[in-house]
Amino acid sequence: MRPVISVERAGHQNVLAFMNTIGYTEGTDNGRQLTLHDGYDVLVGGKLFTDFKDHPNVLVQLNPKLASTAAGRYQILHRFWVIYKKQLNLPDFSPMSQDLYCLNILREQRALPLLIAGRFDDAVARTNNIWASLPGSPYGQHTYSMAHAREVYVKNGGTLA
């Protein structure tokens, strides 16, 4: 599925393709994860939430040394959601609010012009410190290869320079 935000609001089809790639690599919208709302309802670890009034803020113990509050299509951490919800005046944790959050992060990381220009690899390099499943992420969790991520991006309508 595609993000709920329009191409016009996102600025380019490549931005939507990249957002889909994030959902895929984060495991929330890849065809293997149960979801009733295209990944917008997924907690880290795979359980679902149903209330979109606000970030669910559920601390999930992933292993003895790692716990996370990541939630939604883009696996947004609660501590960041609190800041951006206020900054962006987001009313809830709905799919549109999650898309606007993601779009803002892409803007802050200076990835939007790269995506519009079809510079996928460079956009990944600008954002893999945010999304730990993207190729080259420094966090040590499972990542996808650049070739696989590119394939997902192109399959979702992205173009390469």
Residues tagged active-site: 26
Q: Taken in order 85, 54, 31, 66, is the CA torsion positive or negative?
A: positive
Place of tokens 């994030």: 22
C-alpha torsion 132→157→8→103, nearest 10: 0
Structure tokens at 64: 């003895």
CA nearest 101: which of 88, 92, 117, 91?
Answer: 88
d(CA 136, CA 158): 20
68-94 per-residue burial string, b: 16 or more CB within 10 A, e: under 16: bbbbbbbbbebeebeebbeeeebeebb
Q: How many C-beta atoms lie closer than 10 Å to residue 98's C-beta?
A: 30
